[in-house]
Chains A and B, each alone.
Chain A
Amino acid sequence: MSQEMIPGAQALLRVFEEENVDVFFGYPGGSVIPIYDALYDAENVRGVLPRHEQGAAHAADGYARVTGRVGVCMATSGPGACNLVTGLATAYMDSIPIVAITGQVKTNLVGTDSFQEADVTGITIPITKHNYLIKDPHEIERFPDILREAFYLARSGRPGPVLVDIPFDVSAGPVPWVERNIEALDGFEELAVPDDADIDRAADMIEAAQRPVLLIGGGVVHAGASDEIRALAEKCSLCVVHTLMAKGCFPETHPQSMGMPGMHGMAYGSYAIQHADLLIVIGARFDDRITGDLSRFAPDAKVIHIDIDAAEIDKVREAQVGIAADARIATRELTQAVSARDAGEWEAHLQQFKADHPLCFADEDELMAPQLVVSKLYEITEGRAIVTTEVGQNQMWAAHYYPLLEPRRWCTSGGLGTMGYGHPAAIGAQVGRPGELVVDIAGDGSIQMCIQELATGVIEKLPIKIIILNNSYLGMVRQWQDVFYSKRYSGVDLTGNPDFVRLAEAYGAVGLRCAEREQVVATLEQALAVDDRPVVVDFAVSKEENVFPFIPAGKSYEDIMHCPLRQTQ
């Protein structure tokens, strides 16, 4: 039987079809022209054209976060591929499954400094789960399987971005087509299940604990373990704190939710951890934004740590029981193994923490506090939006004042902290879930890092809402300079911002402005009524509002700085 030979570009599109990729985010260029030519006739997949490759990577990331599927982005060789780097690093830090397809110069030119050549597989080794350059004959022979392997690796185990670098002559030239057999792929593994003895030990520890706290992270989103987490929490009367990544995995309005702990977390969540005698950590990795000074973090707590990535266990904080397994399976087994318990006296303490340390901000007549804008957004959207954020104060206020009830409604760059992420992520989210309300909570600094994607939203008729909390500052840096550098505001003044309303209109989007607190709701309602194009709403918020609570970097939960309002009460 003779082997079927097809152009590499056709093989790529066939694998897209196998993987149910019906949309990707890509920007053409010389080295990917054969792929775009094949795309011209393709019926089952289309490319969304961002205006910068960084937008493509973030859009694929947003798409992946809200759909749970692998997001796909594409760029040409050299500068195009280099522009994906920030997006790949963002996805890598947050374990988001992306397949990035990059063009490369012809195989005989690789390594010769040819036009638009960059060593993209070299550049992206530290920020991808794995990457491939299809250059040698044995790689070209396996081309369809390498593509399948890329998708498999991106979504399996601890998910993450995978890059496939395809030279022009490979996508233009013939490759052998082989049928799909996932289980035969290099690297295929069964889902990791926990050891029974470890589950039993963990159950014993929960039963023996007086002050247990369940800390959940982004792994719960990836594993789809929200229902299992809730069952465990309710069976054992566990209070639940979530990392920024796990927002929505446990309903934030649930009485057992103690919010988000950490640097800008709710003080009551931080206090719960600080007083805990047992931390049950599922799909979280003891990031420094959660722990602060490690030596003073949860000093009395034993640790049960469940993570799909064995390397996370004992990496930062030693676990008395470490379970390297899928969060959903492990949580389910743990819930079955453990006996029901009530919260006992701990419950009263927790409620006291909550009562003593609520979030607060200055809600005064003449001010339009940024927190007020987010709160009103929450009220009038009844918490049903998919929220993306930029990075900085806007991100923390979104985390504080837009509580979520479900996972996969939250896109934020938690690990890398990438300004410019939220807008393209909102585009990806809206493409992935067209019927949903998608809102990007932005700052006037961040939004300008990927502002060009307004064109994408307009062409694609995406009714995303971009809420700019405009204080004409790089607010988070200004806050640090305020608190630690005697208000020596250096390099943070964004005087010279464009007129965002006219900018939106120039792109064909809707621009709205609100400078008075009485108009917040009406303006938001006006924005929500638009259903065929992006809306940019420029809220002129109070300029020097700080995010509280605030634990300075490297300090501990004992050093929480509260909202000044509370201190004067």
Chain B
Amino acid sequence: METQRTLSVLVKNRPRVLARVAGLFARRGFNIDSLAVSTTEDEAISRMTIATTADPPTLKQIAKQVQKLHDVVRVIDHTEQKVVERELCLVKVRVERTQRPELISLCDVFRGDIVDIGNGGVIVQIIGDSDKIDAFVDLMGEYEIVEMVRSGKIVLDRGAQG
């Protein structure tokens, strides 16, 4: 069944490595729903967290194709793993002064933080798994969302294994 699944791709920190991985997804017709890239505990290695919508055989094929790239060290398929998943979202909404108390209490429920208030606009930061962020963004639809950005999800498997 096609659902969103997550791969972590550990890559050598080399020029063009992002283009190699992203290009592979594009030319083989795989989706990238979100992508987050960062440094890791090893300075020679970067970690790409890629959310993709695929059925299990397609995901397996994606993982095998990505693994073939020379600059890819390891591909981790998080399907059926116990994971910690987080994403960060900033939402800028236009609210009247009178609406602020209501907004603040909504943020409290979602453990969101108001990180900026000014000139009719409020920026809320919210951290959580993607479902939580989706729910919060839906709720913000009641106000006027001026702009929004999401970091893309990052994932680590639980337990002591790397």
Q: Which residues of A contact B (CB under 8 A)?
A: 121-122, 125-126, 129-130, 133, 135-136, 153, 186-187, 309-311, 314-315, 318
Residues of B within 8 A of A315 (CB): 61
CB distance A122 to B64 under 8 Å? no
B70: Cβ under 8 A from any A Cβ: yes
Which residues of B65-91 have CB atoms within 8 Å of chain A's CB atoms?
65, 67-71
**Is A187 touching B70 in the complex (CB atoms < 8 A)?**
yes
B contact residues around A129 at 8 Å (CB) = 70
Not counting A133-B15, A133-B16, A187-B70, a sample of 14 additional A-B residue pairs whose C-beta atoms are within 8 angstroms of each other reads A121-B16, A122-B16, A125-B16, A125-B19, A125-B23, A130-B69, A130-B70, A186-B70, A309-B68, A311-B65, A311-B67, A311-B68, A314-B57, A314-B61
Chain A min CB distance to B11 (Å): 13
List the B side residues contacting A126 at CB < 8 Å.
23, 27
A153 lies within 8 A of B61 (CB): no
B65 with A153: CB separation less than 8 A:
no
**B20 contacts the other chain (Cβ, under 8 Å)?**
yes
* 4 A-B pairs with the lowest CB-CB distances in the bound complex, closest first: A311-B64, A130-B70, A311-B65, A126-B27
Chain B residues lying within 8 Å of A122, measured Cβ to Cβ, are 16, 19
Q: How far is the CA of A129 from the CA of B19 in the complex (A)?
A: 14
B132 contacts partner chain A, Cβ-Cβ < 8 Å: no
| Chain A residues closer than 8 Å to B70, beta-carbon distance | 129-130, 153, 186-187
CB of B60 within 8 A of chain A? yes
Inter-chain CA distance A213–B114, complex, in Å, is: 68
Q: Which of B15, B57, B64, B68 contacts A136 (CB 8 A)?
A: B15
Complex contact B15–A314 (CB within 8 A): no
B103 to chain A minimum Cβ distance, whole angstroms, is 46
Digitize B36-75: 1 where CB-to-A-CB distance is under 8 Å, 0 elsewhere: 0000000000000000000001001100110111110000
Chain A residue at smallest Cβ distance from B64: A311
CB-CB < 8 A to A311: which residues of B?
61, 64-65, 67-68
Question: B118 to chain A: closest CB distance in Å?
Answer: 39
- What is the size, in residues, of chain B's interface with A at 8 Å between Cβ atoms? 16
- B19 touching A314, Cβ below 8 Å: no
Residues from chain B with Cβ under 8 Å of A125 in the complex:
16, 19-20, 23
Q: How far is the CA of A309 from the CA of B23 in the complex (A)?
A: 20
Which residues of A are found within 8 Å of B69, using beta-carbon distances? 130
Shortest CB-to-CB span from A194 to chain B, Å, is: 17
Give min CB distance, A47 to chain B, whole Å. 28
Q: Which residues of B contact A310 (CB under 8 A)?
A: 64, 67
Interface centre among A129, A136, A310, A318 (most CB of B within 10 A): A310
Please indicate the chain B residues that have their CB under 8 angstroms from the CB of A153 in the complex: 70
25 CB contacts below 8 A, A to B, read A121-B16, A122-B16, A122-B19, A125-B16, A125-B19, A125-B23, A126-B27, A129-B70, A130-B69, A130-B70, A130-B71, A133-B15, A186-B70, A187-B70, A309-B68, A310-B64, A310-B67, A311-B61, A311-B64, A311-B65, A311-B67, A311-B68, A314-B57, A314-B61, A315-B61
Chain B residues 84-111 with CB under 8 Å of chain A are none
| Nearest A residue to B16, CB-CB | A121
Question: How far is the CB of A89 from the nearest CB of chain B, in Å?
Answer: 12
**Complex contacts, A186 vs chain B, CB 8 Å:** 70
B59 to A: closest C-beta gap in Å: 12
Write the nearest CB–CB distance from A29 to chain B, whole angstroms: 24
Q: Roughly how many angstroms separate A136 CA and B67 CA in the complex, as a whole number?
A: 25
User: What's the least CB distance linking A142 to chain B, in Å?
Assistant: 12
- For residue B61, which residues in chain A have a CB less than 8 angstroms away from its CB? 311, 314-315
Find chain B residues with CB under 8 A from A314 CB: 57, 60-61
A306: shortest Cβ distance to chain B, in Å?
A: 16
Cα A310 to Cα B63 in complex, Å, equals 11
A83 CB to closest chain B CB (Å) equals 22
Q: Taking CB as reference atom, which chain A residue is nearest B57?
A: A314
List of A residues within 8 angstroms of B68 by Cβ: 309, 311
Q: Of all chain A residues, which has the CB nearest B71?
A: A130
Instruction: Kindly list chain B residues whose C-beta atoms are within 8 Å of the C-beta of A121.
Output: 16
Bound complex: CA A315 to CA B64 (Å):
10
List, in ascending order, chain B residues with CB within 8 A of A187's CB. 70
Q: How far, in Å, is A245 (CB) from chain B's closest CB?
A: 19
Minimum CB–CB distance for A461 against chain B, Å: 40
A121 CA to B95 CA in the complex, in Å?
Answer: 49
**For the complex, what is the distance from the CA of A77 to the CA of B67, rounded to whole Å?**
30
The chain B residue sitting closest to A153, CB to CB, is B70
Chain B residue at minimum C-beta to C-beta distance from A315: B61
Residues of A within 8 A of B67 (CB): 310-311
Q: Could you mark each residue 1-45 of chain B with 1 if its beta carbon is under 8 Å from any beta carbon of chain A, else 0?
A: 000000000000001100110010001000000000000000000
Q: Which chain A residue shows the least CB distance to B12? A: A186
- In the complex, chain B residues whose CB is within 8 Å of the CB of A130: 69-71
Closest to A310 in B: B64
Q: How far is the CB of B159 from chain A (nearest CB, A)?
A: 26
Q: In angstroms, how far is the closest chain B Cβ from the Cβ of A209?
A: 25
